């Protein structure tokens, strides 16, 4: 009750200004993977808050909030190849029940006690971890690191080589509702690969690093952001403010809403990091733009000298000079080297058949198909959502919806409509039916066709008690808010809210306005698909509004992936517990 009163008092004192945009910025060109972002400045206190927010964002966008159970890896290590100063083995890990990750383990021929180790995810080269050409050679990297005293685990991204149970690219709406994405599966595989490495008897678990180029660079800084067991990181040709990653495996929904790769890479601070760049790709500005921005974050920890950069006059790559820079970096961090260049030594690269785990053999008989893996993921999500921690449910729902009660609402009159804005250039038309001056109750009426339809719908108006003031907003792209929309980028939901999430936000903007007008009790009601938006808005309002719609008659379609994909498409909603979780939260508030 105290929290609700404080929310009311805060909103009651908000100035209702007339600075409402003439057009809704949400209809224009929105951030995307090719937007030129500008870095922000933070104080240490601001970054400490931002850091936790961003770590939670990466975890949620990866579908890893909460984490899946760490089931036995059942590691198979076999097919040993012996070379001059190194060995190579085949590895198969069961990262989820029935889901397998393939890779190669490069080791020093004669390790001296426990040695440092490096995770090596690959980028979008044709042969993945088997690629061997002038611009990229994962085997050459592994062999050279092993000769220098490191264990290296080079492993597949999903859909490559020995990890074929899912495509590399899949992006259906149903999968996005459950945050079942290539980015999430790859990040989980990286976490489990780290589990595997730190358990090896010849590896020092306190000296594990990660490096990869291109999409492997994205994997490197994503893993380092959420798992501090990565003691040092070297993302190659991917830390950029002008390109955020072209593949769906780098662009899960929610990942970069109000952020970008530079901030995600800065989450590694204050652990050592080397940012490798090239003049011939999107990392061309690293020396003057991206590196200084990351170093500013390191400086907040008095650790500006713990982040370095190097740039080569070359196209997109992980070529010999780049690899040599990475050798020197990890030798300095983990072996006490002085940072001087380390020359790469040539070595014969084994045939692909000698590196492939599944050459002339099949996955174990209990390996799951893609539909079965998705089914397992949904079952896991349902089981996690059934746990009794309602505050955690509310938090995850809020992360899925990306909506919150605004701290201030601006308003202006335009004829029959009041136009609201919660900031960020939004524009929410609103119709008002005034109630009794003595009443402190407000009803927010949501209709999928907009405010005029809401005010004309007897079913909704009957829910308003005598004397209550009725507010009917034109939610995003409904009624008077309907307007042309600029073309949207392939990865729109990575950087922006979906239309349905925007509608939930608009409901909360209307709630805030009603509170500022003096309402002490606000209920949200909806018709048709707007009932789902109303339920979600009430559930994440933190007590500022209750649900005015009867929930008893809700049909199973509100839990159906196909219905949600069409009428309430909010990526991650089902992973967070869906409409059922929102109703649990609301029922607990009564």
| Ranges of each domain in the chain | 2-30+389-589, 76-380
Q: Is the pLDDT of residue 462 over 90?
A: no
Tell me which CATH code domain 2-30+389-589 carries. Answer: 3.40.50
Q: Is the pLDDT of residue 552 over 70?
A: no
pLDDT of residue 349: 96
44 contacts: CB under 8 Å, gap ≥ 6: 300, 301
Residue 341 binned pLDDT confidence (cut-offs 50, 70, 90): confident
Q: CA 21, CA 527: separation in Å to the nearest integer? A: 28
pLDDT of residue 551: 53
Residue 215 CB-density burial (10 A; 0-12 exposed, 13-18 middle, 19+ buried):
buried
The answer to whether the 2-30+389-589 and 76-380 domains have the same CATH topology is yes
What does the CA dihedral 150, 124, 159, 571 come to, rounded to 10 degrees?
A: 110
CA angle 393/395/400 to nearest 5° reads 95
Locus of tokens 């009651």: 12
Q: Is the pLDDT of residue 576 over 50?
A: yes
As given in the structure block, the two tokens for residue 313 are 């006059």
Per-residue pLDDT of 45-81, as tens digits, reads 999 999 999 999 999 999 999 999 999 999 999 999 9
Q: CA 58, CA 256: separation in Å to the nearest integer? A: 9
pLDDT of residue 20: 93
What is the pLDDT averaged over residues 561-588? 95
The sign of the dihedral angle between the CA atoms of 485, 486, 491, 496 is: negative
Do residues 422 and 29 make contact, with C-beta atoms less than 8 angstroms apart?
Answer: no
Could you confirm whether domain 76-380 is CATH 3.40.190.10?
no
Locus of tokens 């929610």: 254
pLDDT of residue 72: 98
What is the pLDDT averaged over residues 532-538? 96
pTM listed for this prediction: 0.94
Q: Is the pLDDT of residue 463 over 80?
A: no
Q: State the average pLDDT for the chain.
A: 94
Per-residue pLDDT of 119-168, as tens digits, reads 999 999 999 999 999 999 999 999 999 999 999 999 999 999 999 999 99
Q: CA 211, CA 191: separation in Å to the nearest integer? A: 14
């Amino acid at each position: 009750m105290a929290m609700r009163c404080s929310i009311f008092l805060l909103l009651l004192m908000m100035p209702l200004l007339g600075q409402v945009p003439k057009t809704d910025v949400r209809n224009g060109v929105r951030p995307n993977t090719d937007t030129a972002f500008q870095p922000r400045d933070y104080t240490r206190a601001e970054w400490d808050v931002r850091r936790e927010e961003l770590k939670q964002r990466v975890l949620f966008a990866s579908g890893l909030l909460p984490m899946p159970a760490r089931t036995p890896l059942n590691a198979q290590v076999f097919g040993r190849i012996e070379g001059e100063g190194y060995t190579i083995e085949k590895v198969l890990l069961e990262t989820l029940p029935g889901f397998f990750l393939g890779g190669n383990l490069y080791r020093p021929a004669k390790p001296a006690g426990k040695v440092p180790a490096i995770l090596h995810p690959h980028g979008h080269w044709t042969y993945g971890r088997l690629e061997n050409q002038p611009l990229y050679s994962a085997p050459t990297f592994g062999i050279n690191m092993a000769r220098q005293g490191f264990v290296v685990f080079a492993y597949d991204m999903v859909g490559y080589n020995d990890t074929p149970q899912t495509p590399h690219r899949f992006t259906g709406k149903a999968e996005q509702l459950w945050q079942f994405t290539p980015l999430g599966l790859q990040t989980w595989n990286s976490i489990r690969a780290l589990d595997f490495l730190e358990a090896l008897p010849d590896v020092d678990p306190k000296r594990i690093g990660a490096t990869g180029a291109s999409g492997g660079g994205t994997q490197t800084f994503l893993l380092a952001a959420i798992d501090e067991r990565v003691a040092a990181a070297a993302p190659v040709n991917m830390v950029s403010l002008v390109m955020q990653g072209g593949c769906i495996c780098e662009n899960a929904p929610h990942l970069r809403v109000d952020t970008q790769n530079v901030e995600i890479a800065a989450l590694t601070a204050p652990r050592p990091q080397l940012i490798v760049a090239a003049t011939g790709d999107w990392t061309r500005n690293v020396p003057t733009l991206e590196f200084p921005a990351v170093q500013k974050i390191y400086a907040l920890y008095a650790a500006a000298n713990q982040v370095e950069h190097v740039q080569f006059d070359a196209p997109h790559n992980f070529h010999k000079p780049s690899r040599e820079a990475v050798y020197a970096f990890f030798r300095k961090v983990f072996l006490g080297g002085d940072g001087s260049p380390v020359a790469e030594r040539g070595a014969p690269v084994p045939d692909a058949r000698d590196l492939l785990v599944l050459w002339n053999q099949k996955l174990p008989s209990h390996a799951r198909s893609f539909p079965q893996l998705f089914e397992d993921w949904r079952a896991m999500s349902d089981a996690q959502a059934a746990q009794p921690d309602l505050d955690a449910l509310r938090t995850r729902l809020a992360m899925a919806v990306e909506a919150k009660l605004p701290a201030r609402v601006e308003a202006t009159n335009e004829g029959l409509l009041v136009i609201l804005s919660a900031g960020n250039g939004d524009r929410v038309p609103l119709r008002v039916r005034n109630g009794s001056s003595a009443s402190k109750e407000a009803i927010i009426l949501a209709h999928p066709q907009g405010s005029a339809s809401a005010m004309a719908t007897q079913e909704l108006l009957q829910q308003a008690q005598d004397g209550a003031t009725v507010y009917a907003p034109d939610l995003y792209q409904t009624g008077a808010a309907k307007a042309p929309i600029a073309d949207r980028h392939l990865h729109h939901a990575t950087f922006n809210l979906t239309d349905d999430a925007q509608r939930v936000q608009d409901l909360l903007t209307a709630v805030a306005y009603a509170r500022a007008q003096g309402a002490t009790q606000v209920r949200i009601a909806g018709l048709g698909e707007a009932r789902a938006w109303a339920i979600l808005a009430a559930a994440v309002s933190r007590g500022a509004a209750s649900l005015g719609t009867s929930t008893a008659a809700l049909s199973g379609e509100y839990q159906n992936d196909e219905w949600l994909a069409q009428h309430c498409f909010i990526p991650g909603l089902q992973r967070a517990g869906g409409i059922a979780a929102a109703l649990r939260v609301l029922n607990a508030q009564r």
